[in-house]
């Protein structure tokens, strides 16, 4: 009984599909690649943030982003400025 209903539903759909002259686009199989990012407009300047160049007490490189206009993050920027000021005092 169930198979008869399926056959009837398919039979009734065939004339409806045959009357239309539309082209159906086939979607490609899903992949694990991330979608492509849209290109940024030429008007917007690209923000380049680099990694902080300071080393932590354990000797590893700091993982934070450098502050804008500096080679160091906000925390290490203050520390490095103090160190550079002390070096200049010793030289003079």
Per-domain boundaries in the chain: 48-92
Using alpha carbons, list the distances in angstroms from residue 71 to 26, 54, 57, 84: 50, 8, 18, 13
Helix/strand/coil for 61: strand
The winner for highest mean pLDDT among 30-34, 41-45, 56-60 is 56-60
| Main-chain dihedrals φ then ψ at residue 59, nearest 5 degrees | 95, -5
Mean of the per-residue pLDDT values of the chain: 75
Global pTM reads 0.41
> Which residues, 6+ apart, have CB-to-CB distance to 71 below 8 Å?
50, 52, 53, 80
Helix/strand/coil for 5: helix
Give the mean pLDDT of 26-47. Answer: 63
Kindly report, residue by residue over 37-52, the tens digit of the pLDDT.
766 656 655 566 689 9
């Amino acid at each position: 009984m169930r198979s008869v209903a399926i056959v009837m539903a398919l039979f009734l759909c065939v004339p409806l599909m045959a009357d239309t002259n539309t082209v159906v686009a086939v979607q490609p199989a899903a992949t694990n690649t991330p979608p492509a990012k849209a290109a940024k407009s030429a008007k917007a300047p690209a923000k380049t943030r680099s990694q902080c160049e300071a080393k932590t007490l354990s000797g590893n490189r700091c993982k934070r982003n450098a502050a804008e206009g500096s080679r160091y993050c906000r925390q290490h920027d203050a520390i490095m400025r103090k160190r550079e000021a002390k070096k200049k005092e010793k030289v003079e």
